[in-house]
Amino acid sequence: MNFQDIKNIIIFKIAFIPFCLFTIISKKTYDYFFQNHNQNFEICDNGKDDDNDGLIDLNDVDCNCQIIKPVSFIPNPSFEEQECCPTNRSQLNCAKTWIQASGPTTDYINTCGWMGWPEFPVPQPIPDGNGIVGFRDGRAMQGGGYEASWKEYAGACLLQPLRKGEKYRIEFNLGFVDDLRSPPINITFFGVPTCTKLPFGTSNIALGCPTKEPEWVRLGSVLLSGGNQNTWVKSSIEVSPNIDINAIAIGPDCPDISNSVSTYYYFDNLILADLESFKFRISEVSHPCNNKFTLEVPERDGLKYQWYKEGIALIGENKRSLSKMYGEGSYQARVEDNNDNCKLTEKYEFKIPQFTNLAQKLICKGSQYSFGDKILKESGDYTHIFKDKNNCDSTVNLSLKVIGESYDTVATKIFEGDRYEIGHLKLKTEGEHIVLLKSSIGCDSFVLVNLTHFKIYFPNIFSPNVQGVNSIFTLHNDDEEIIDYDITIFDRWGSLVSDAKEWNGQNLNGDIIPGVYIYNVNLKSIHGTRKVYKGTVMLIK
């Protein structure tokens, strides 16, 4: 006899029992047979696997519920759909539907291939998926100066237009390198009535922003900063266009900036939709590192709330605000109206931020440096985790150098007769010299200078008519660091005889006349130093 047969018999028999007794027995039978036996459905808010299928609450298909999620008017909003895997810069064409909006080109970066410029490290983790876009707001020139009009934008044709007078929001993640290479920036949202206006300014890479071309309008902007962190910042811009918009571009604002180095930023997860679509979202209360940090959803009359972590109900968390956090992980809130219609918020991924910084410190020998709970006196690499103002863990990797703890060694070459200046000394003779210096922080610092001369030699006599040794006058150079030289020869009356790198003894008329001649030799070393040697050589037949 199976469970259903037993159930039918009990229902049949209890139909003849007086009503008061029926109530007592039916309660007991329900408890026994309907709670202590397998069910064929999942209860979605008790944190249990009610139907024994290994899936609990929201993870079970029995608990399917519509997710309250804005659908972006921008196609491929996180740059995940690909035509190809990027292998170098300026390959936004690898991201489906996205357009290089301007002459200066944005960079498509994806973990499947090219991961960007080495000098502009991508903040980790990437907010959504594997693809992002990198862009500049001006760039430093190799020969000096700053090209402020070099502005890079990403553009797209919209899946549906932004209607005149309606309210919309674009949300996005902006990545920063650091405060020097990613200073605060006005991220600006531009629009145009027709897609035929994309791209703009392709014939003029110095055009700048889109509004310098007809029909483009500035829809809105927001000033953002990443501080001195390699980090992502999430932000949004709300707009209400004065005309219908079918294509957009997003990037730097129009005014030119100036910087000592090239600037660089990153975009990811650009969600553009009507404002109402964004209304019901999980939001943060306080900073994620703060002990009072929690989450909440908007308050609406007539709604019942239930919070979940990793899809499993958090028992007792049935208000619009979480009473506390339950560790890192994925959080959602389910709401039900009076008709038992349910909806789910998008997932909120909670991860306590952790930061890593590099630091260098110099101290004098005999001094000490306080680093966290340690007192440091020796050179080395040290690590300590500090708490920042928001109570976040900030890992500092310190490179400590004790000046005077060991010799610094300098190996250098000079031309014979010259001097090598270090500190208040001028060294002339070859050999090892120990020099005591004062460092920039006032320490005694010993430097071992290994000084040598360039190995060059000029003969003082030569005979053009003798084959072999000393038949030609030239520089005898045993030093690879001499990269160039010129030789000029004059007779005793000051007339030019030769200006070649070698002299075979003939004058400009082709005659060989014995006697004493004057030479000038101009030398250049690999270090850029120069030296002029003057002397005499005797020519004999």
DSSP string, 496-516: EEE-SSEE-SB-TTS-B--EE
Scanning the structure block, which residue is given the tokens 């650009």? 270
User: Angle between the 19-29 and 3-14 helix axes, to the nearest 10 degrees?
Assistant: 170
Q: How far apart are alpha carbons 169 and 263 in whole angstroms?
A: 26
Q: What is the pLDDT of residue 38?
A: 54
Pull the structure tokens for residue 400. 């400590």
CATH topology classification for 44-68+280-352 = Immunoglobulin-like (2.60.40)
477-525 pLDDT, tens digit each: 877 788 889 999 999 899 999 998 889 898 888 888 999 999 999 998 8
- Output the DSSP codes for 439-451: -TTS-EEEEEEEE
61-108 pLDDT, tens digit each: 999 998 888 889 999 999 999 999 999 999 999 999 999 998 899 999
Written out in words, the top-level CATH class of the domain with range 92-278 is mainly beta
Domains 44-68+280-352 and 456-539 share a fold: yes
Which of left, alpha, beta for 508 (phi over 0: left; psi -120 to 50: alpha)? alpha
Domain ranges of the chain: 1-37, 44-68+280-352, 92-278, 354-403, 408-453, 456-539
The H or E element containing residue 6 is: helix 3-14
Bridge partners (DSSP) of residue 387 are 393
Give the architecture (CATH level 2) of 456-539. Answer: Sandwich (2.60)
Q: How far apart are alpha carbons 200 and 249 in whole angstroms?
A: 10
Q: What is the pLDDT of residue 140?
A: 87
Q: How far apart are alpha carbons 456 and 433 in whole angstroms?
A: 23
Q: How far apart are alpha carbons 463 and 490 in whole angstroms?
A: 17
3-state secondary structure of 208: coil
- Best CA proximity match to 209, nearest among 254, 169, 174: 254
Q: How far apart are alpha carbons 414 and 525 in whole angstroms?
A: 9
Bridge partners (DSSP) of residue 236 are 171
Q: What is the pLDDT of residue 507?
A: 87
398 phi and psi, to 5 degrees? -105, 130
Q: How far apart are alpha carbons 446 and 443 in whole angstroms?
A: 10
Kindly tell me the burial class for residue 532, based on how many C-beta atoms sit within 10 Å of its own C-beta (0-12, 13-18, 19 or more): exposed
Pull the structure tokens for residue 265. 């930023």
Regions of the chain with pLDDT less than 50: 1-37
Query: CB of 219 within 8 A of CB of 210?
Result: no
Spatial neighbors of 239 by CB under 8 A, at least 6 apart, are 162, 167, 168, 169, 170, 189, 219, 220
